[in-house]
Structures are given as C-alpha cells and as structure tokens.
Amino acid sequence: MLEQTVKSELIALLGDRFSDEPEILTCYAYDSFLEESMPDAVIFPKTTDEVAKIMALANRAKVPVTARGAGTSVCGAPIAADHGIVLCFSKMDKIMEVNTADRYVVVQPGVINGDLQKVLAPSGFFFPPDPGSMNFSTIGGNVALNAGGPRCLKYGVTKDYVLGMQVVLASGKVVRFGSKNIKDVTGYNFTSLFCGSEGTLGMVTEVTLKVIARPETTQTLLVTFADLDSTARAVSDIIGSGILPVSMELLDKMTINAIEDAVHMGLPREAGGTLLIEVDGSREACDRERSQIVHKVKEHNVMAVEEAKDEADRNRLWAARRAAYGVFAKIAPDILSEDVTVPVSKVPEMIRRIYQITEKYNLKAGVLAHAGDGNMHPLICADRKNQEEWKLVKKAFREIFVAGAELEGTLSGEHGIGLAKAEFLPLVMDQESRDFMACIKKAVDPNNILNPGKFV
Ligand SMILES: Cc1cc2nc3c(=O)[nH]c(=O)nc-3n(C[C@H](O)[C@H](O)[C@H](O)COP(=O)(O)OP(=O)(O)OC[C@H]3O[C@@H](n4cnc5c(N)ncnc54)[C@H](O)[C@@H]3O)c2cc1C
C-alpha cells in the first residue's frame, strides 16, 4: 500500500488521473504473458513535467514505478513485480511533429504505432517497425522493448529508427539524448541503451523517429512446401544467396491448420510448412527478386507458389499470418509463446530441436517464425491448471533456450526478457557482462525504483 502522504501528493498533482480502486488496479496487473501482480496505484500523467514530479516524489519515498504503454508485452515487462505505482502513458498520445523533408517525426510515447502509420500514409513515408500488435501497442512500449515485426528482416528493428528521445530519470531530472539528425555520433549512444531497457532506466516521454519513403511496389508470395525441414532450408538458402526480402514468415502444419479451423483463410492444410514472402522496391527490382526466389524454392520440395493477385489478396494472406497467435486460444486455455533466435543458417536445426523437445514431452506445439532473421516463435498450448503438464511446458522451454544458446542464438529476437526469461539470462550472458549491466542500472537508478524485479 502507498503511504498516505505519497497518495495525497499524487492526487494533488493528478486529480482523477490517480486510482487505487481494486477494479481499476486489476486491469493493470497483467500483460499478454501469464503472470500477474497488483500495483498499489495506477496514474495517467499528461506532461513530461508531471512525470518529472512523480519520479522525484517516488524516488524520495522509494516507491517502485513501472511504466506501461498498452500492456501488450508477452514477457511480463510492464507487470509491477514489486507492486508500487504503474505509470501509464496512454494520455501522452500526441504526434507533435511530422517532417518528411528531414525524414523524422516527434511523438509522445503513448502514440499507437498503427495511428502513426495512418498519419504518415498520405505523405508517402512510413515507420518500418511493424509488430503484430501495431494496431494497439504504443511507441513507448515499442522503444522500451525494441520491438520488431515481419518487415524488420529488411528494415531493422525499432532502435534503428530512434534518432532522439527525452527521458525522465529516476531522480526526476529530464534529459535529452540524440537529436533530429539522421547522422549524429555525438557522445555515447544513449538512445540505443534505452531501446530494449524495458523501463528499468528511465521514463521515455518523447521520441524522435526516423521515417522513410514508401517503396514503389510490393509483391507477395505464398510458397507451400511438402515438409517443414524443406521450408526452413529454403529460408537459409534464399538469405545465404544474398536476396533480402522484406519478410519471410514461416508457418508450420499445426499453425496452418489452427488458422484454417478458426478463420478459414484458404491456406493449404496439406502443407508441411509455408513461407509468406514479400519483396519491395522498384517494379524491376521486385520482378528480379521474385524470380530469383521462385528459382531457389524449387530446389526445396515445393508444392506450390501462389502470388497475391491484388491488394485484397495480399491482405488476406497477411490477415491469416496475423491471426496466428489468437487462433491457438481455441486449442488450449493457456499458450506460452517464446522467441528464441538463431543465426539464419541454423534455423532448420533449431526447428528440428524444437520439435524433438516438445514431442519428447508430448506437448501440443506449433512454430511460427520471422524466419528470415532467425526469429522463431514456438507456441506451446497447455492448461496451467494441470500442474504436471505445466511443469513439462516449463521444462521444454528451458531446453529450447539451451538448444538456442548451443546454436549461438539468443533468448529473444523481439519480445524482450521481462519476467519470462530473466532466469535464462546466464545462458547467453556471462557474469561479467551481467555485472556491467547492473552497474549501469545502479548508476542511473540507485534506489532501484524503476521496474524492479526484472532482468537486471
Ligand atoms: C498479438 C500480439 C502480437 C505481437 N507481435 C509482436 C511482434 O511482431 N513483434 C514484437 O516485437 N512484439 C510483438 N508483440 C509484443 C508487444 O506488443 C510489443 O513488445 C510492444 O512493443 C509492447 O508495446 P506496449 O505499448 O504494449 O508496451 P507495454 O507492454 O505496456 O510495455 C512494454 C515495456 O515497455 C516499458 N515502457 C512502456 N512505455 C514506456 C515509456 N514511455 N518509457 C519507458 N518504458 C516504457 C514497460 O515498462 C515495459 O517494460 C505482440 C504482442 C501481441 C499481444
């Protein structure tokens, strides 16, 4: 529970943008992962100045503060593990400047990624990071989790587009990193440090993002393979030959059938695996890359290559891909999804290992992947109430992470660490490296009030 003096000061500052009613707190106790922890209060600041005052107060009273965007994290990152205050950025949602001549936009952290895309569309520019949650996740959350998405294979992840930011530190001091310049190597690269920091280093209250011109055209292919191994080998073969599509999204048989059972998108049920491949650029470049890809996939047990006929057809294929998470909810009450990532040449081996592990424990599992960048999402469907089964799910994921580390991979390609993977950090970071990370945390947040209980 918050001390009465802290509560009174927050109410004096924020009025009805403070709540400690249990019904409201419950809504901020969870994200899209499986754990829950009730905060003592949730607050909705509207300005950087308010955030600064809140942080100064929390630091003095040593109350934990956990930032929150839309709560769509799948790793428990915005869960207030040590209770305290949830600071929700949903009311700081202004697009402050759009400057396509200089290729940047300035936004508040609560702006929804998809809303920014809509505002940019008429200008012919776009912001490439496109997490599956883009229509409901915020730029602040995208930055703090360094979000990726299907088109990040060609265009890179959120950190590649952050030019500058304003941050409120734990002390309440307001600092600025980076600038509005496309090129800027002045001082330490603090913007990158804050990307992926999961709200453990400061509150991001404004972000300057690079935007780029939309390519002339896009072509979309759905390639169907007889078996999953051929699907995975085609991915590493295409990338290894120097072709860089925008996206290469892999679905396995279980995922294809889960989508067809739930939403009937016309995917080939008989396939062992599919790749949704997209190329973009000039018409000439697209035609050339498409024929190189078709040539390559024919070496890999291919059953069919279908090209999207028009925009409606393309939207159908992407709608099927984007449905992939939700449809698993029809199979079992709980779904644990991870994002182990390996060098692309090791995707076939990693997929084989995921299957060996889940089959060993007799678990229902599917694999979908942003396969072109080695980012795999094994999904295990189970029932948490069945404790024996749940223990096996946990065991399987540990083994999947160990296998990923053995293949020189990493714990997360885009979802972050949060509560979900903190215990696995030693698999991919040695003690000295973790100590260095803790040193940085201690220097900027000596009272450990920023999202405590997470990976640092
Ligand atoms: C259906 C679905 C599909 C998804 N697909 C993808 C995908 O393709 N790629 C991908 O990368 N992720 C994906 N995700 C995960 C998630 O949507 C992203 O990580 C997203 O970036 C989280 O944004 P959010 O606004 O919901 O942030 P939240 O979940 O609210 O918070 C995430 C983290 O950011 C911190 N934070 C939030 N705002 C700030 C701020 N202003 N300052 C400092 N810290 C802050 C929080 O403390 C927390 O640690 C998906 C999730 C779902 C449910």
% of the chain at pLDDT higher than 90: 95
In sequence order, what are the beta bridge partners of 307? 221
From residue 38, alpha-carbon distances to 20, 23, 137, 431 in Å are 10, 11, 21, 32
- C-beta separation of 269 from 182 below 8 A: no
**Domain 95-213 belongs to what architecture?**
2-Layer Sandwich (3.30)
Mutate to test the pocket of ligand 1, among 137, 368, 412, 419 (most ligand atoms within 8 A of CB): 137
Q: Is residue 27 pLDDT above 90, yes or no?
A: yes
Residue-wise pLDDT tens digits, 59-91? 999 999 999 999 999 999 999 999 999 999 999
Q: How many residues does the chain have?
A: 456
CA of 197 to the centre of ligand 1 (A): 12
Give me the pLDDT at residue 216, please. 96
The CB density around residue 242, as the number of other CB atoms within 10 Å, is 7
Q: Distance from the CA of 234 to the center of ligand 1, in angstroms?
A: 31
pLDDT digits 0-9 by tens, 361-388: 999 999 999 999 999 999 999 999 999 9
| Domain 4-88 listed as CATH 3.40.50.920 | no
User: Residue range 419-431: average pLDDT?
Assistant: 96
Q: Is the CB of 108 under 6 A from ligand 1?
A: no
Alpha carbons 337 and 334: distance in angstroms, whole number: 10
pLDDT digits 0-9 by tens, 307-324: 999 999 999 999 999 888
Q: In CATH terms, are 95-213 and 216-328 the same topology?
A: no
- In this prediction, residue 280 carries a pLDDT of 97
| 326 has pLDDT over 90 | no
Cβ–ligand 1 contact at 365 (below 6 Å): no
- The CATH T-level fold of domain 216-328 is Alpha-Beta Plaits (3.30.70)
Nearest CA to ligand 1 atom 1: 133
pLDDT of residue 325: 84
Each domain of the chain, given as residue ranges in start order, spans 4-88, 95-213, 216-328, 332-444
- Residue 64 Cβ contacting ligand 1 at under 6 Å: no
Ligand 1 atom index nearest CA of 205 = 41
Pocket residue to mutate for ligand 1, from 30, 73, 208, most atoms within 8 A of Cβ: 73
How many Cβ atoms from other residues are within 10 Å of residue 271's Cβ?
23
Residue nearest to atom 5 of ligand 1 (CA): 132
Å from CA of 78 to ligand 1 middle: 8
Listed in sequence order, the residues at least 6 apart from 299 whose beta carbon sits closer than 8 Å to its beta carbon are 234, 237
CATH topology for 332-444?
A: Alpha-Beta Plaits (3.30.70)
Banded pLDDT at 332 (limits 50, 70, 90): very high
Find the 176 Cα to ligand 1 centroid distance in Å: 22
Does residue 226 contact residue 337 with C-beta atoms inside 8 Å? no
